[in-house]
Amino acid sequence: MEYFVNKDSIVRKIWGQTDAILFIFAGAAAEFALNKAVDWLYFTGWLPADPLGRLFSTVAYSQQIIFSERDAANHAIDKITGIHKTVEQNRGAQIPDWAYRDVLFMLIDYSVRSFEVLERKLTPAEKAEVFDVFYRVGMRMGINGLPTNYNDWQVARQAHLQTDMVNSRFTADLYKQYKKHLGIIRYLILKQVQVLVVPKKVSQMLSLNKIRYLAPVLALYKLTRLVKLDKILIISVLPKSYQTQVRNLTAHTL
């Protein structure tokens, strides 16, 4: 059986770890709030009504693709494309290619950043592997203008960070919704995770606290992995309404 991502791939290791997935989720939550195309997500009404659920959906689709055999993964990608086409028809406009690229860029960047915060530095070959997986997703979706290698992606990523983000009324509203759905303590934890993983430009635009209060806690958390308490700890700090979704994300094994 041929898989979309090889079983020994570093991408499977990253996306097979609950904590790495949630760090990717946290980074994406920050950048979604700044993206100039976030109005598309507001158009459906889903994002302001359930911003965490919308982000979990994006992460879940990505994980489904990564752990599926090739045909099933391509079917999942086609389903995503179809959903976006329906939104475009309903709005009578087309989602710009740069907006699609931005989401792929987030998944690439936060896959690397999250693993490096939690585990170790990735090698150039491993980073190229992360890029290749999401590049193939983008190609299947028919996204134009994708860089074809990791080095070119780094240049494109920096350009995105300079041109495709704005601190808007959507930014303020999304963070208001994050706080509402998470509660104050979990909201503060979310922001501290964001401090650890987001690029400097994102941190500056969101005025995130530069003091990494979570860093010492993170060191203690890593010890819980040794006694297999990490997943229990992660799930216990999430709102009950999202615990099932997180358990579903942990269903994949390497």
203-246 residue pLDDT tens: 999 999 776 666 666 655 565 554 454 455 555 556 666 656 66
Greatest distance between any 2 Cα atoms in the chain: 53
Least Cα distance to 35 among 110, 111, 100 occurs for 100
Instruction: Read off the pLDDT of each residue in 184-189 and give the average, rounded to a whole number.
Output: 86
**pLDDT for the residue numbered 247:** 60
Asked whether residue 183 is assigned to any structural domain, the reply reads yes
Q: What pTM was computed for the model?
A: 0.85
Kindly give, in sequence order, each residue whose CB lies less than 8 Å from that of residue 136, ignoring residues fewer than 6 positions away. Answer: 4
Specify the number of domains making up the chain.
1
Asked whether residue 2 is assigned to any structural domain, the reply reads no
pLDDT higher than threshold 60 for residue 197: yes
**pLDDT for the residue numbered 229:** 46
In angstroms, the CA 244 to CA 236 distance is: 11
Asked whether residue 5 is assigned to any structural domain, the reply reads no
**pLDDT for the residue numbered 17:** 85
Asked whether residue 197 is assigned to any structural domain, the reply reads yes
Domain residues for the domain of 108 are 10-249
In angstroms, the CA 168 to CA 34 distance is: 7
Tokens 């992995």, located at residue: 225
Kindly give, in sequence order, each residue whose CB lies less than 8 Å from that of residue 132, ignoring residues fewer than 6 positions away. Answer: none
Asked whether residue 92 is assigned to any structural domain, the reply reads yes
Q: What angle do CA 100, 105, 107 make, to 5 degrees?
A: 100
Asked whether residue 1 is assigned to any structural domain, the reply reads no
73-84 residue pLDDT tens: 999 999 999 988
pLDDT higher than threshold 50 for residue 53: yes
Instruction: Give percent of the chain above pLDDT 70.
Output: 79
